[in-house]
């Protein structure tokens, strides 16, 4: 996604603009025309086929497995590496929407310009949904985060979002401020910083700060503002932007259906904040709108081979912090929106954490013409082609699998060809050119050992990776009074997470049917201290659809740990015991359980 502000406004917007650029730039628009000018309402009826892939991580940069990905009418789930891919799904050409849903996190929404025959790539970092405080719905009140984000609710101003019935209990407020100067803005912000103003015209936006807010009731029900009521939202303004920030600024909310921001109301600058009233909750944004033209380019190596997932930065000349980022697709192509009447600098990098530029080119824009820079050729010494093949335990070609390369701490995913081969070109962005490779046979749930090598310019023949050494199977099987039940990845969601703040520290393993409702879940909780292979851990609780969650463990039940790898590997174990149901029945249940789940903590 590209959006860079004009040279005149460069000092004001700083890094804030880079988010706009990133979102636009990830999109792929091969043919440019006058429709790129932001003077007409967006066309949200024309649809085409599009392919999208990417990686999803949490706030700690750990891969998020089993996050639900929705693109068009198709759904998929991230794998253990946080990777997802949907091919040839029908999307809105002008604003294709990628939605990521994961319990405990705000919904992540990415928007891009889609083009037939081109794909889009994202790196998405989820925002944790943490309850910041509670407000009495009858009296109203406010909560303030440590960073200054403040929400004030009026008295009797909240209703049940589903039924519109007045709500009178405690309001749980989950809130997160999105700092416009955050270097990760392109990965965490929703949409692509395009929006429709009050006239319906499509604009690119420069953000001065965003907020994610969600209201829930005592039973977890979603709440919203009552008709005719408004809440006051105070959004912090970073010091780097405060001096030149306008005294009043339009407010925009994210339309989760279209993926575009919509102008609604305004906020007024007060000291180091913007304060405005809002009539409903989702993502809110303080932005200045402007017009744009479209830009594209194709990045290749010296032999003309496309380089995918290369990071492209465009900045205002003389102000490198006023910039935006985007990724090339599988054909090396990238496009997006850039400001009119500007002198700009394009740079190619290996990744967002690589500070060494691989290529640079200056160009200018005017008020009417879109820009195509054609092929950008990286020097031969700054790219590497990697090739090899993957076999299974029978030394036969793996036809349903992939190779995951990790380079400079970042993952790159390459699907295998029909004969089990892989061949791709990547950048060499630093002196540390060590890369690791793991191959997986999806059909057999087997992976290879890690293969590590130092990449050199041009050709790197990896040879044959044998996807046979490591089992990747994850499951949670249990029986209640002799009746068996099973959850198995990837058809089902399996998670391991810890609560080290508890006394004693606890570890939780849960599983859920991805296609069922929330009642189809099972979880077990046990003491985390002293976990090791062949250790016995005390089972603290066990819940499943067949047994009431209020059940108790009268006689101690020991979980035998049979496998305990490092984070990223697996924990496995089993137990047998009697779970006692709640009063007045106090029904005993004979339970057996075995599990194997990837460790995340």
For residue 35, give the 3-state DSSP assignment. helix
Across the range 142-166, mean pLDDT stands at 97
pLDDT at 431: 64
pLDDT at 311: 87
For residue 59, give the 3-state DSSP assignment. coil
pLDDT at 9: 28
pLDDT at 60: 87
In eight-state DSSP terms, residue 182 is -
In whole angstroms, what is the distance from residue 255 CA to residue 258 CA? Answer: 6
CB-based contact 133:112 (threshold 8 Å): no
CB-based contact 93:133 (threshold 8 Å): no
Rank 240-244, 464-468, 503-507, 513-517 by mean pLDDT and report only the highest. Answer: 464-468
Task: Calculate the CA dihedral of residues 533, 536, 539, 542 and round it to 10 degrees.
Answer: 50
pLDDT at 599: 82
Across the range 111-127, mean pLDDT stands at 89
On average, the pLDDT of the chain sits at 86
| pLDDT tens-place string over residues 259-289 | 999 999 999 999 999 999 999 998 999 999 8
In whole angstroms, what is the distance from residue 227 CA to residue 180 CA? Answer: 31
Q: Which residues of 431-443 are buried (b: 16+ CB within 10 A; e: fewer)?
A: eebebebbbbbbe
Distances from the Cα of 158 to the Cαs of 218, 226, 438, in angstroms?
13, 5, 51
The answer to whether residue 258 scores a pLDDT higher than 60 is yes
In whole angstroms, what is the distance from residue 439 CA to residue 322 CA? Answer: 40
pLDDT at 290: 83
Distances from the Cα of 35 to the Cαs of 31, 187, 218, 359, 369, in angstroms?
10, 27, 48, 30, 10
pLDDT at 584: 80
| pLDDT tens-place string over residues 312-349 | 988 878 766 566 778 898 889 988 888 888 899 999 98
pLDDT at 511: 84
pLDDT at 37: 44
pLDDT at 432: 67
Q: Is 11 exposed, middle or buried (0-12, 13-18, 19+ CB in 10 A)?
A: middle
The helix (run of H) or strand (run of E) holding residue 11 is helix 10-13
Residue for token pair 């408004």: 230
Name the pairing type of β-strands 292-300 and 311-316: unpaired
CB-based contact 407:352 (threshold 8 Å): no
- Average the pLDDT over each of 8-22, 373-387, 527-541, 547-561 and give the range with the smallest value: 8-22
Question: Residue 411's pLDDT band (boundaries 50, 70, 90)?
Answer: confident
In whole angstroms, what is the distance from residue 151 CA to residue 281 CA? Answer: 11
Distances from the Cα of 292 to the Cαs of 2, 365, 507, in angstroms?
10, 9, 51
| pLDDT tens-place string over residues 25-81 | 433 222 223 334 444 688 999 999 999 999 999 998 888 888 899 998 899 988 888
How crowded is residue 51: how many other Cβ atoms within 10 Å of its Cβ?
A: 20
In whole angstroms, what is the distance from residue 567 CA to residue 600 CA? Answer: 6
In eight-state DSSP terms, residue 36 is G
| pLDDT tens-place string over residues 159-217 | 999 999 999 999 999 999 999 988 888 899 999 889 999 999 998 888 899 999 999 99
In whole angstroms, what is the distance from residue 21 CA to residue 301 CA? Answer: 24
Residue 221: name the closest of 168, 143, 257, 258 by CA.
168
pTM value?
A: 0.76
Distances from the Cα of 448 to the Cαs of 160, 314, 376, 563, in angstroms?
51, 39, 36, 18
CB-based contact 311:352 (threshold 8 Å): yes
Residue 378: name the closest of 417, 411, 416, 348 by CA.
348
The answer to whether residue 19 scores a pLDDT higher than 90 is no
DSSP E strand boundaries for 446-549:
446-447, 451-454, 458-466, 470-471, 475-480, 483-488, 492-499, 506-513, 521-527, 536-543
Residue 226's φ and ψ, nearest 5 degrees, are -70, 155
The answer to whether residue 11 scores a pLDDT higher than 60 is no
pLDDT at 519: 52
pLDDT at 124: 95
| pLDDT tens-place string over residues 510-524 | 887 766 544 578 888
Across the range 445-453, mean pLDDT stands at 91
CB-based contact 74:88 (threshold 8 Å): no
For residue 82, give the 3-state DSSP assignment. coil
In eight-state DSSP terms, residue 220 is S
């Amino acid at each position: 996604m590209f959006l860079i502000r004009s040279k005149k406004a460069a000092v004001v917007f700083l890094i804030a603009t880079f988010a706009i650029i990133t979102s636009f730039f990830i999109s792929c628009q091969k043919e440019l025309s006058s429709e790129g000018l932001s003077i007409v309402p967006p066309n949200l009826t024309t649809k085409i086929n599009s392919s999208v892939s990417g990686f999803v991580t949490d706030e700690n940069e750990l891969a998020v497995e089993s996050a639900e990905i929705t693109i068009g009418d198709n759904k998929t789930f991230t794998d253990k590496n946080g990777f997802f891919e949907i091919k040839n799904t029908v999307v809105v050409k002008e604003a294709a929407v990628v939605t990521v849903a994961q319990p405990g996190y705000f919904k992540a929404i990415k928007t891009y310009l889609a083009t037939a025959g081109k794909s889009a790539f994202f790196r998405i970092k989820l925002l944790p949904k943490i309850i910041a405080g509670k407000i009495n719905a009858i009296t109203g009140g406010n909560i303030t985060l440590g960073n200054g984000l403040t929400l004030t609710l009026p008295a009797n101003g909240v209703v049940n979002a589903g039924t519109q019935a007045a709500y009178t209990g405690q309001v749980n407020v989950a809130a997160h401020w999105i700092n416009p100067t955050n270097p990760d803005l392109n990965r965490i912000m929703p949409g692509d910083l395009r929006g429709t103003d009050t006239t319906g015209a499509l604009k690119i936006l420069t953000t001065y700060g965003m907020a994610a807010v969600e209201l829930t009731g005592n039973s977890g029900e979603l709440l919203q503002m009552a008709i005719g009521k408004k809440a006051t939202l105070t959004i912090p303004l970073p010091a780097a932007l405060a001096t030149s920030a306008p005294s009043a600024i339009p407010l925009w909310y994210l339309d989760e259906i279209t993926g575009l921001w919509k102008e609604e109301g305004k906020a007024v600058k007060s000291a180091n904040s913007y304060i405005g009233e809002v009539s409903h909750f989702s993502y809110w944004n303080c932005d200045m709108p402007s017009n744009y033209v479209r830009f594209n380019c194709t990045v290749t190596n010296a032999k003309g081979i496309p380089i995918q997932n290369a990071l492209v930065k465009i900045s205002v000349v003389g102000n490198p912090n006023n910039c935006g980022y985007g990724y090339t697709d599988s054909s090396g192509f990238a496009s997006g929106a850039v400001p009119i009447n500007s002198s700009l600098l394009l740079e190619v990098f290996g990744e967002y954490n690589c500070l060494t530029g691989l290529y640079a080119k200056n160009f200018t824009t005017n008020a009417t013409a879109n820009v195509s820079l054609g092929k950008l050729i990286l020097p031969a010494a700054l790219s590497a082609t990697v090739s090899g093949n993957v076999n299974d335990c029978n030394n036969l070609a793996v036809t349903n699998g992939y190779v995951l390369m990790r380079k400079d701490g970042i993952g790159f995913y390459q699907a295998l060809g029909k004969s089990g081969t892989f061949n791709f070109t990547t950048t060499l962005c630093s002196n540390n050119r060590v890369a690791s490779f793991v191959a997986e046979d999806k059909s057999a749930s087997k992976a290879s050992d890690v293969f590590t090598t130092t990449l050199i310019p041009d050709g790197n023949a990896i040879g044959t990776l044998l996807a046979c050494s490591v089992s990747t199977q994850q499951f949670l099987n249990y029986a209640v009074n002799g009746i068996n039940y099973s959850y198995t990845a990837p058809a089902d969601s399996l998670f391991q997470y810890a609560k080290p703040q508890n006394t004693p520290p606890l570890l939780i393993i849960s599983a859920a049917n991805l296609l069922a409702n929330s009642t189809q879940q099972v979880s077990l909780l046990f003491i985390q201290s002293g976990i090791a292979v062949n250790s016995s851990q005390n089972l603290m609780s066990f819940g499943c659809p067949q047994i009431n969650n209020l059940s108790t463990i009268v006689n101690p039940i020991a979980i035998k740990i049979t496998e305990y790898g490092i984070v990223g590997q697996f924990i496995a174990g089993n137990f047998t015991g009697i779970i006692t149901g709640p009063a007045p029945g106090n029904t005993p249940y004979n339970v057996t359980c075995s599990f194997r789940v990837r460790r995340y903590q």
